[in-house]
Copies of this chain bind each other. A is one copy, B any other.
Amino acid sequence: MNITLKNNLPIGIFDSGVGGLTVYRSLHKRLPDERFLYLGDTARVPYGTKSLSTVERYGIENARFLAAHGIKMLVVACNTASALALPAIERAAGVPTVGVIESGARAAVEQAKTKIGVIATEATVRSGAYRRAIERRAPHVNIIEQACPLFVSLAEEGYAETEAARIIANDYLKELRAALVDALVIGCTHYPVLRKVIEETIGEGVMLIDSGEAVAEDTAAALETHGLGRAPDRENLARPRRLCDDLDHFYVTDSAERFSRIAEMFLGSAPRRLEAVEVWGHDQLNAGRKEN
């Protein structure tokens, strides 16, 4: 493919559902000239309570769907899929692929000296992926992991800044607070929605690492390395792009209406181009539109 044409392709992002919108927000901010193709696998969400083989199968199907639509790079916004299946997903995508786990681990090691806390889904914690990614970079750092499963529904149901969320956060984070961690990795894309409560609960002086922001940095670096960056549009210079505008395309595997409503809560605006699709065909040709 002609280099300029390839550079003009969008960056693919997928997540198990709406959580990855916090990663989309970080990417959009860091890379205002790029366009994005987002896939939320809302028919099969959540991944965080499911097994390795199931998450791998879902991840491969998502990657193939996005690849069939033409992308130059893939960001796996879902921590669980990054933890369990990144190599298989990269092979299926056939383009440079980055995942939130490696980026979050890199950012954590840059900030913390002795003790790093990680909060994530049950599956991500059980996989030990953050632990391995951090230990590879800083073998002597002390790592404490904690699953916070209720945070996902609290975020999706609009309970982020409530007394109930504070009580639950207090319960989940008490060991991490007692351990006096230097940095806390927010290792699930839903959790940044509860950032304020997490910050208040873990206490002052703990650096919060948002894996979404970290992966946006690494995406920018990868575009540079592969020479895949997109040249600025002239009109963009005058009028910066908005989140969820016409240039970014969103696909969901179910419940577009619910996705749209939660997107508005997470991002302040709902996607203008949003489509319900099926991704579970046996090959790329089956990845078509959904009849509902």
Contacts and interface: CB of A to CB of B under 8 A. Distances in A.
A23 interface: no
A54 B152 contact: no
B149 A157 contact: yes
A204 interface: no
Interface string A154-172: 1011010011100110010
Interface string A75-115: 00000000000000000000000000000000000000000
Contact of A150 (B44, B159, B167, B292): B159
A52 interface: yes
Tier of interface size on chain A: 20 to 34
B51 A254 contact: yes
A252 to B, nearest CB: 10
Contacts of A44: 43-44
Contact of A51 (B50, B164, B292): B292
Contact of A149 (B52, B149, B153, B254): B153
Given A43-B54, A168-B159, A49 B150 contact: no
A255 interface: yes
A258 interface: yes
A194 to B, nearest CB: 13
A235 interface: no
A53 interface: yes
Interface string A35-47: 0000000111100
Contacts of A159: 150, 168
Given A153-B149, A153-B153, A164-B167, A43 B52 contact: no
A291 interface: yes
24 contacts: A42-B49, A43-B44, A43-B50, A43-B54, A45-B49, A50-B254, A50-B255, A51-B254, A51-B255, A52-B292, A53-B292, A54-B254, A54-B255, A54-B292, A149-B153, A149-B156, A149-B157, A150-B154, A150-B157, A153-B153, A163-B167, A164-B167, A164-B168, A167-B167
Interface of A: 42-45, 49-54, 122, 149-150, 152-154, 156-157, 159, 162-164, 167-168, 171, 254-255, 258, 276, 280, 290-292
